[in-house]
Amino acid sequence: MAKAGDKVKIFYKKEVVEGVLMPEEDPKFVFVKLDSGYNIGLKKSFVKRTEMVKKKVKSKQATKKVTTKRGLPTISILHTGGTIASKVDYETGAVIARYSPEEILSMFPELKQIANIKSRLVRNMWSEDMRFAHYNMLAKEVKKEINGGSNGVIITHGTDTLHYTSAALSFALENLPVPVILVGSQRSSDRGSSDAAVNLISAALFISTRKDFADVAVCMHENTDDDTCIILSGTKCRKMHSSRRDAFRAINTTPWTIINWKKRKIKIISTDYNKPSKNKLKILPFKENLKVGLMKVHTQMYSEQFKFYKGYAGLIIEGTGIAGNIPVNEIDDFTKENTKIAKAIQSLVKSGTVVAAATQTIYGRIDMNVYTTGRKMQDLGIIGNYLDMIPETAFIKLAWLLSNHKKKVKKLFMKNLRGEISNRTEKETYLV
């Protein structure tokens, strides 16, 4: 009788389904993992027969102790969960996480030739559950590894909010002496199309070869092939697709580097990253109970939506078009609510909430001097004119400034502190 983990052929209706038998989740269905990595559920009442193809072979976990190699750099891998270091245990159906150096090198043996690996779990969580406290925790763990002699730190992270975390660490970690690279995986590690290995190996290769780099960055696929990855600015990148392996793109800038991990070639595109600092590494943490909002403008808005943020320390309004436009113009009988919206925003600003604009277009730069709406927004006390920050980075920056530079928030929000604002936007940086 076939058991979970066995490879089987299931004669189902008029077709034959072949794959690995999964644990039973529902007594009316049989679940199979296909070679593509996807799972399929088959109704048992339509199963004609099941044939064994191959019995499950229990894999032996790596127990060989990792030895260091002279001449190789030391890279610390800090795990926050996600799919990179996980495999499915077909006996239990659970995803088994592997975090020790021995287990990581067993899964990704290419790393042995690149660096001496230190690896540990710091938090096992979904990325959508991240809070300011987690950014502070990660910053402390990064500092611990650097003080312990690591030549670079890789953080494995869920992709959904990875660019929030990369921006947060860009601001929180000051005077970095080594690279800090965030790596995610769009496809789970037990799928043939997984991008986990390529992303992780590319990040390690970059750290081992770029001695002049000391910044926070993101390493993900350049395209849907498995040949190259890109190193992206931690404050100017964004997840732009829900499932593609090349979901992360540079915004209003170019990638810093393209890495061909198979050929071990690194192509430098830009060197506007931070170089190793001789000053002492410092952490400028986030205030963990701080309230900062990120609000998206849409049609048919009401003043109550803006009044909700009364008592918040800051608010990023993700408006429309070139000015990050907000509905504040009363043009006819149908738009009387817009006057109430304008008054609600003005009241927020007067109460002490720092209100800044970003644009939903993602690409491009805010210019509040083009149209009447933008000029009215400035009169209401909204800041952000001429900036090209993406909304998520603007949100993180505002929260960090309110945590560390409360008396100079408005002034510093307008200044480039961590590469988050470009002096000029080149046309080549659109959809690169």
Catalytic residues: 83, 159-160, 239
Distance between CA atoms of residues 251 and 197, nearest Å = 25
Of the CA atoms within 13 Å of residue 211, those in its CB half-sphere come to 2
* Structure token pair of residue 80: 């926050």
Name the nearest CA neighbour of 137 among 74, 78, 215: 78
3-state helix, strand, coil in the chain (%, to 5): 25, 25, 50
* Structure token pair of residue 261: 């991990």
Distance between CA atoms of residues 301 and 292, nearest Å = 20
Q: Strands (DSSP E) along 116-264, which ranges?
A: 116-121, 152-156, 173-174, 180-183, 216-221, 228-233, 237-239, 248-250, 257-260
Position 281, amino acid? L
Structure-token match 């960055």, residue found = 217
Phi, psi of 255 (to 5 degrees): -60, 155
Give the SS3 label for residue 19.
strand
Alpha helices in 148-267 (DSSP H): 162-172, 196-209
C-beta neighbour count of 261 within 10 angstroms:
23
Longest dimension (CA), the chain: 77
Element (H, E) at 10: strand 7-12
Q: Going by C-beta distance under 8 Å and a sequence separation of 6 or more, which residues neighbour residue 255?
A: 222, 230, 231, 232, 269, 270, 432
By the 10 Å C-beta count (0-12 exposed, 13-18 middle, 19+ buried), 362 is classed as middle
Position 300, amino acid? Q
